[in-house]
Structure 1
Amino acid sequence: MPLGIIDDNKLEHVPGTAPLSELNSLDVEIAGVDRTLLKHDPTGQIVLVPQPSDSPNDPYNWPRWKKEMFTLVIAYGCGCVGAMGPLLTPAFVPLSIQFGVSLQRFTLGCNGSCIVAIGVGSLIFNSSAVKMGKRPIYLATTVGLAVSCFWAAEAKSFGSLAGARALQGLCMAPFEALIPASVADIWHVHERGFRMSFFNLGVLGGINLAGPIAGSVIEQGSYRIAMHAMGGAFVVMLLLVVFFMPESAYVRHNAINIDTTEHTVEIEEAEKEKTMRIEESPIGATNASSEPRISYMQELAPWNGYWDNVSFWRLFIRPFFVLVSPIVMWATLLFTICISWLVLISITLSQIFSAPPYNFSVSSVGATNVSSFVASVLAALVSGYLVDGVATWMSKRNNGIFEPEFRLPVMVTYLIFTTTGFFAWGKSLYNQDPWPIPVIVCMGLINLGVQLGTTAIVTYVSDSHREQSAEAFAIMNFIKNLFAFGLTFYANDWIVAQGVRDCFYVIGGTTIAVTLTTIPMYIFGKKARSWVYRHRVLDRVLKKT
């Protein structure tokens, strides 16, 4: 029973479990593989999980600077995408008047259309990315984001603005659904937590920084100027994607598999080779170590020839089958709760702070997000090290064996900070406390916990279902956005009818109940991973042509 996790006796090795250090080399020796064959990090103390191949074109073998640039572009892109959603929320009240529609209808058309489009786009672009690789998707949707921003800036009617926002949501989807899988494509298990925190910081930082900047721009100029500026930001993003985000999807040959097989160690002969082919690219060579390194100019091509022969519609339904996994089911529930309540806060900020006793201007409403941004940055500085550090420390306590469940103890920070923030937010607004209490203290606590919690969740899923991570994050984003879309129908009216205190007491209580499910997930997570593998519940759709 490794540190409170119930062990599994049905499989020789449960996928996801892996040796992370040399403290216990027994499993490798039993498998008849010399442990010196395993690749380690530069210190020689940590076993690389997953094991890279010998090819210089394997993303796990990219130079460190190349991986870091890839990650920085991810952070910038996710920041821009995060900013798109709440860009107009500080001005919802005056903009609804300007376009001659009710606040509830404006919220539904402006944010609701964007949110539901993100959910649909998560499924469409996940299928497309598995089919042809991720780089073409990132390029095409970045162009779409720039175009939709300029369209929204020039919209003459509410219907046109809502249409532009729907296109924005569709093109935002890859930067929410595919990024965790891209991180897992290039970083090893012991490095992912820190890089996942960059992804979360980009999204949450963009959400929180958009308000202060856009609020001032809209108040001093117009929302059209803000949209033009976002269009320019995505033009910059397009250049960064072109030059610093090469294709990370890769068919790995003859690598030692120590984390996704039922055997302790297995030499991968590229099972996917039956359904995958590489065209116009040397990546598919049989002898990986003798492959010529792909040049930088070749990497600039929009598409490198990666292709999956599985039908698009089979790929489209894959995410729904991944939801059968208890790990993905739990993560979807927690991820939905983590993010959706932030959406509810963002779409009600203008309603709360534009009214007495605060009577904030548009720019002041936007500025309320500054504390959230600061909290997200502070959390990002520690979340990656915390998630990776706790997992590494627990692995050493577990005789050098890593379990994905070692990511979950960090969820206690989400439980403490976020739920406290929700209860305090509702109470302070009900008491009409001075604005620093709800804005600085309460929103800071909420965002601090969310940053820490989401980093743990996405890293846990990536470690547990590495080969199905793209499908897992697609369905997680789809359900999260459907739930958030539902919030746009009643969020503003809910606060009017029930009051802000009772509303957020319900939210706080729900968050506690949902987060406590982390305890059984930690205890039974290994058995859940074993059950998924033994019953082949994912393979029935995921590995058939």
Structure 2
Amino acid sequence: MPLGILDDTKLEHVPGTAPLSELGRTDLEVAPGIDQGLLKHDATGQIVLIPQPSDSPNDPYNWPRWKKELFTVVIAYGCGCVGAVGPLLTPAFVPLAAQFGVPLQRFTLGCNGACIVAIAAGSLLCNTLAVKVGKRPIYLLTTLGLAISCFWAAEVKSFGSLAAARTIQGFCMAPFEALIPASVADIWHVHERGFRMAIFNLGVLGGINLAGPIAGSVIQTGSYRIAMHGMGGAFVLMLLLVVFLMPESAFSRHDALNIDTSDKTVDTGISEKQFAEHIEDRPAASESSAPRKTFMQDLLPWSGYWDHVSFWRTLLRPFVLILSPIVMWATLLFTICISWLVLISITLSQIFSAPPYNFSVSAVGATNVSSFVASVLATLVAGTVIDGVAKYMAKRNNGIFEPEFRLPVMATYLIFTATGFFAWGQSLYKREPWPIPVIVCMGLINFGVQLGTTSVVTYVTDCHREQSAEAFAIMNFIKNMFAFGLTFYANDWIVVQGVRNCFYVIGGTTVAVTLTTIPMYIFGKKARSWVFRYRVLDRVLKTK
């Protein structure tokens, strides 16, 4: 029973479990007939690389560190832009609804609701295309679509046209929510992912939180059209960054030991005798003899990557993956983590434009500054907390890493976020001075959300590395459909029940859902074994 996790006795090796560190290990031979010296380690020589890279210089796991870091910087910028464009207009919902001559609830539904439901649909379709042809073509096309739709939204003459532009924006936003975690897993090893996943989350949450202060001031002093033109310019820059610094990360890996996704301790994909012969013949047959791609080859819009599973089978993959208890649980947590932030964003103007606060458009937007600061602070500690806890627990577990070692960090989500929701509702009900709900409560909420979502995303990636794109596609689809439902009644909910009762319900729901992390931690390894043993995913996910 590794540190409270129920062990599994039905498989030799449960997928996801892997030797992260050899410190304290006594089984110097990892598998019969396989010399442990064949395992590749990090630069310190103490941490086993999970997954094991191939010998190809074009394997993203073998990219130079500078190339990986620049790739991650583009992720942060791109996710920031995508995070910003969603709630860009929320500080001005009340005056814009009056300007277009539509009720506030209808404006919210057309402006944000259409965008959210398009993200849900786009998550599935873009994932299908990305699995078939690779991620780079999808990133390029949708970034171009984001730039065009922003310029379109800036010049609309009617509310219908604005809703249409926002729908296109939502569809093009989808890859930067659904595919990025899989891209992170494509290039970073397990012990490096926590901080990079936090960077991804910071991009999204940072964009959401910075959009308000900037757009609010721009809209108040100029117009929403200027804000949309500026957003279009940001996406033009993003397109250039994607072209030059985001090469294809999907890679068909051969000649690599599988120590994390197989039911064998070490899986070579061939018999031990064949493996030994293959090692001897490696100079003639190894991927290492393949020439390294040139910079110009990396710039090609399509690398030639192709998955032979049919389009329709690929489209069905995410719906089958929801049968995994890990993905089912993560979808519940991910939906709760993010959707309540959507509810807050679409009700900020309603709450702070009214008495006793009577905020201007720019002041409503500025309420998000504390959320951004909290997200940055959480990101700074995320690497130490999430990766550090996993490495510490792996060392305590005789060097064996379990994906469930990511889950103790969810305690921070329970403590900070739930407290923030209860305090938010109470402070607004009592009409406390604005620094209490804005700085204290929103700061607590976003600090917890950043750590919580990073923990959930990293856990799913560790459990379902080979199907991570499909996992995040279905997670984003369900999350955005739930958020879309919120746009129908969020504003009216606060009017009818009051802000305190509304957020007491949200806080209570958050506590109840987060407590499911305890059984997930205890039974997670058995769940991973069950998924593998009963081949829950194979009929759709495998080509044969």
TM-score by length of 2: 0.97
2:168 aligned with 1:167, yes or no? yes
Match runs of 1:300-449 below 5 Å: 300-449=299-448
The answer as to whether partners of 1:19 and 1:25 remain within 8 angstroms in 2 is no
1:9 aligns with 2:9: yes
Q: Shift in Å at residue 31 of structure 1?
A: 3.0
What are the equivalent positions in structure 2 for 1:42-441 lying under 5 Å apart? 42-268=43-269, 287-441=286-440
Is contact 2:259–2:266 with CA below 8 Å preserved after alignment? yes
Q: Hey, what's the Cα distance between the residues in 2 that align with 1:32 and 1:74?
A: 41
**AA matched with 1:6:** L
Could you give the per-residue CA deviations for residues 496-526 of structure 1, whole angstroms, max 9, x where no partner exists? 0000000000000000000000000000000
Q: Any idea what the Cα deviations from partners look like across 1:195-219, whole Å, max 9, x if unmatched? A: 0000000000000000000000000
SS of the residue aligned with 2:489? helix
Change (3 A) 1:496 1:25: same
State the alpha-carbon separation in 1 of the partners of residues 286 and 399 from structure 2. 32
Q: Which amino acid aligns with 1:83?
A: A
Q: Tell me which amino acid in the other structure corresponds to 1:300.
A: L
Aligned twin of 1:275: none
Aligned to 1:540: 539
Name the amino acid aligned to 2:393.
M
Residue 281 of structure 2 is matched in structure 1 by: none
CA shift digits 1:338-391 (9 cap, x unpaired)? 000000000000000000000000000000000000000000111122100000
Counterpart check, 1:450 vs 2:449 = yes
TM-superposition CA deviations, 1:39-67 (whole Å, max 9, x none): 00000010000000011000000000000
Could you report, residue by residue, the CA deviation over 1:466-515 in whole angstroms, capped at 9, with x for unpaired residues?
00100000000000000000000000000000000000000000000000
Letter in 1 for 2:384: Y
CA contact 2:31–2:266 (8 Å) conserved in 1: no
Q: Aligned letter for 2:496?
A: A
One-letter identity of the residue aligned with 1:479: I
2:280 maps to: none
Q: Which amino acid aligns with 2:287?
A: A
CA distance in structure 2 between the partners assigned to 1:268 and 1:140 by the alignment: 36
Shift of 1:309: 1.8
Distance 1:309 1:5 in 2: 37
Structure 1 partner of 2:530: 531
Q: Distance in 2 between matches of 1:520 and 1:209?
A: 36
Task: Provide the residue aligned with 1:31 in structure 2.
Answer: 32
Q: 1:253 to 1:286 in 2, by over 3 A?
A: farther
Find runs of 4+ consecutive structure 1 residues off by over 2 angstroms. Answer: 27-32
CA contact (8 A) 2:144 2:236 kept: yes
How much has 1:286 moved relative to structure 2?
A: 5.6
| CA–CA separation in structure 2 for the residues paired with 1:537 and 1:46 | 32
1:21 aligns with 2:28: no
The 1:286/1:489 distance shift into structure 2, 3 A limit, reads: farther
Separation in 2, partners of 1:28, 1:247:
36
1:502 and 1:400 map into 2 onto residues whose CA distance is 47
Counterpart residue number, 1:517: 516
Output the amino acid matched with 2:432. D
CA distance in 1, matches of 2:197, 2:161: 36
Measure how far apart 1:27 and its partner are.
Answer: 7.4
Return the alpha-carbon distance in structure 1 between the equivalents of residues 448 and 364 of structure 2. Answer: 22
8 Å contact kept, 1:31–1:264: no
Which residue type is aligned with residue 195 of structure 2? F
The size of the alignment, in residue pairs, is 531
The amino acid that maps onto 2:133 is M
Note if contact 1:209-1:369 (Cα within 8 Å) is conserved in structure 2.
yes
Q: Distance in 2 between matches of 1:344 and 1:243?
A: 36
Shift of 1:36: 1.1
**Displacement of 1:25:** 5.6
Deviates more, 1:162-171 or 1:28-37: 28-37
Cα 1:189/1:232, change in 2 over 3 Å: same
Q: What's 1:281 paired with?
A: none
- Quick one: which amino acid aligns to residue 126 of structure 2? F
- Residue 273 of structure 1 corresponds to none
Deviates more, 1:399-408 or 1:20-29: 20-29
Contact kept in structure 2, 1:28 and 1:265, CA below 8 Å: no
Measured against aligned partners, the alpha-carbon deviations of 1:106-158 in whole angstroms (never above 9, x if no partner) come to: 00000000000000000000000000000000000000000000000000000
Identical counterparts, % of pairs: 81
- For 1:505, the equivalent position in structure 2 comes to 504
The AA in structure 2 aligned to 1:26 is: D
Q: Distance in 2 between the 1:337 and 1:261 partners? A: 32
Matched to 2:350, the amino acid is Q
Give secondary structure in 2 for the equivalent of 1:306. Answer: coil
Q: Distance in 2 between matches of 1:27 and 1:114?
A: 54
SS of the residue aligned with 2:306? strand
Residue deviations 1:136-195 (CA, integer Å, cap 9, x gap): 000000000000000000000000000000000000000000000000000000000010
Say if 1:543 and 1:300 are closer, same or farther in 2 by CA, change over 3 A: same
SS in 1 for 2:30: helix
CA drift at 1:32? 2.3
Shift, 1:26, TM fit: 1.8
Q: For structure 2, which runs of at least 5 residues remain unmatched after alignment?
A: 271-283
In the alignment, the residues of structure 1 paired with residue 309 and residue 56 of structure 2 have an alpha-carbon distance, to the nearest angstrom, of 25
Shift in Å, 1:28: 4.2
